[in-house]
Amino acid sequence: MQKTYDKNNIFYKIINGDIPCNKVLETEHCIAFEDINPRAKIHVLLIPKKPYVNLNDFILDADKNEKLDLFDGIAKVVEVKNLRAAGYRLLTNVGENGHQEVQHLHFHILGGQPLGSFIKKLELD
């Protein structure tokens, strides 16, 4: 089920300049900025400027230019932060099971150090 976008979220305020951020770069359709609570030496968030709750909405509603631009944005962050050779982790949390806290689509780009294995093994039942 698609969730209604709620403008009362922190990233909407960042996009509109109501709340400051440490901007890494900006593309036509995206902004990348430092995560306020970094989980690794490098922790950048990349978000589309348009209001998408999460990846489900983006896949359904974004046009091709926005989709290409988002991947360009990721590639630019990788370049600017010099992550290509050593590697990095790209992830987006979706919905309740994904533990998405901010209800505006964002990709985490993490690196600058070994990140360990994927995620902790969960109980299956």
Asked if 108 is an active-site residue, the reply is: no
Binding mask 27-56 for ligand 5GP (x = CB under 6 A): ------xxxxx-------------------
Residue with tokens 């091709």: 64
CA angle 67, 74, 112 (to 5 degrees): 160
Q: Which is nearer to ligand 5GP, 64 or 105 (CB)?
A: 105
Instruction: Report how many residues bind ligand 5GP under the rule CB under 6 A.
Output: 12
Q: Which residue from 93, 95, 112, 115 is in contact with ligand 5GP, where contact means CB under 6 A? A: 93
Rule CB under 6 A: say whether 21 interacts with ligand 5GP: yes
Q: Which is nearer to ligand 5GP, 99 or 121 (CB)?
A: 99
Query: Footprint of ligand 5GP on this chain (CB under 6 A)?
Result: 10, 21, 33-37, 93, 99-102
Active site residues: 106
